[in-house]
Amino acid sequence: MRVLITGAAGFIGSHIADQLDERGHETVRMDNLLPKAHGPQATDENVVLGDIRDPALLDDLLRGVDVVCHQAAVVGHGVDPTDAPDYALHNDYGTAVLLAAMYRAGVHRLVLASSMVVYGEGRYTCPNHGVVRPGPRRQSEIDSGRYEPPCPTCGAALSPGLVPEDAPIDPRSTYAATKAAQEFLASAWARQTGGRVWALRYHNVYGPRMPRDTPYAGVASLFRSSLERGDPPTVLEDGNQRRDFVHVTDIARANASALETPAPPGALTPLNICSGIPHTVGDLATELAKACAGPPPRMVGGSRPGDVRHVVADPARAQRLLGFRPETDFTDGIADFATAPLRAPAAVA
């Protein structure tokens, strides 16, 4: 099988390329080496340097390709809303250019890197009203240390649960909005062309080759960077935010399985790529500090605009349709991550 991987030099894309090599597939790799994700040493002679927004380049690279693995994106929380044009140009316009090129080339299969951020807040149950969708948390409540979202109807305390793929999409950040838009674009393309799309909604990915020292990195990388400076990891809120941390090698295996397994035709099929096992952000900071023999985390309260309280997903559909189950235990994965190579410091454009 011949696979075009966009973002192939990146954190996740490079692991997917390794996984496909091990399985004997032929890969065509492209990346534009955005400084938000790559340090100056991020070069690979097997990667074509180019922009996903270049239709002529895509027309050339898509010749003979069976399936596209679309990982190229600006990721992370970013700096502030001035990032929005950059996110939209790379993530959404870039995806639209890719989909048009796939149509011209007659390529009908896509594996799209999506994210759990499309859900916004996770799934909650009220003792009085069953499953409910909490609204955005008020800043005044966060400032006073009340972090849990209440029932929007009666104000009762909610119990967080596992989010299924049919949960409403409710993005709370610029990045989240662009990932939701990518899904909508790919879904429209599939309906128009009879194409087949898996949208892999990654949960909190960590592992070797994460970019470091950049606001576009994931929380595990930010904690590790602090510890390498001798500083305690800084944890917002009270550290009890629930997340699902997934090792990058498991993400790569999920992509390989999706590339080898055609999705249902004529629509987009989302899959949670997760463990289904919740851990708190405080758990992550504590385990990583221990593994790095560094200072314990510092809880500072507050939150960033758009932050959500709990997001842990239901892994059943990916297990059923792809046979995917993560293999890396949380404690073992964090111990490995404590000494794993990260990408060189990346400039912020």
Q: Which pLDDT belongs to residue 211?
A: 84
Q: Which pLDDT belongs to residue 256?
A: 98
Q: Which pLDDT belongs to residue 311?
A: 95
Q: Which pLDDT belongs to residue 42?
A: 53
Buried b (16+ CB within 10 A) or exposed e, 267-287: ebbbbbbbbbebbbbbbbbbb
Q: Which pLDDT belongs to residue 348?
A: 43
Q: Which pLDDT belongs to residue 349?
A: 42
Structural element, H or E, at residue 220: helix 219-228
Q: Which pLDDT belongs to residue 38?
A: 67
Q: Which pLDDT belongs to residue 342?
A: 84
Q: Which pLDDT belongs to residue 345?
A: 55
Placement of tokens 């400084």 in the chain: 35
Separation between Cα atoms, residue 82 and residue 277, nearest integer Å:
35
Short-list 147, 157, 192, CA closest to 309: 147
Query: How many residues are recorded in the chain?
Result: 349
Tell me the DSSP string of 46-101.
Answer: TEEE--TT-HHHHHHHTTT-SEEEE-----SS-SSGGGHHHHIIIIIIHHHHHHHH
Q: Which pLDDT belongs to residue 37?
A: 66
Separation between Cα atoms, residue 178 and residue 166, nearest integer Å:
19
Task: Tell me the pLDDT tens digit for each residue of 289-330.
Answer: 999 999 999 999 998 887 899 999 999 999 999 999 999 999
Query: What sign has the CA pseudo-torsion 278, 282, 288, 293?
Result: negative
Token reading at 151? 């029932």
Tell me the DSSP string of 7-46.
Answer: TTTSHHHHHHHHHHHHTT-EEEEEE---TTT--TT---TT
Burial of 35 per CB tally in 10 Å (0-12, 13-18, 19+): middle
- Give the chain's residues under pLDDT 50: 346-349
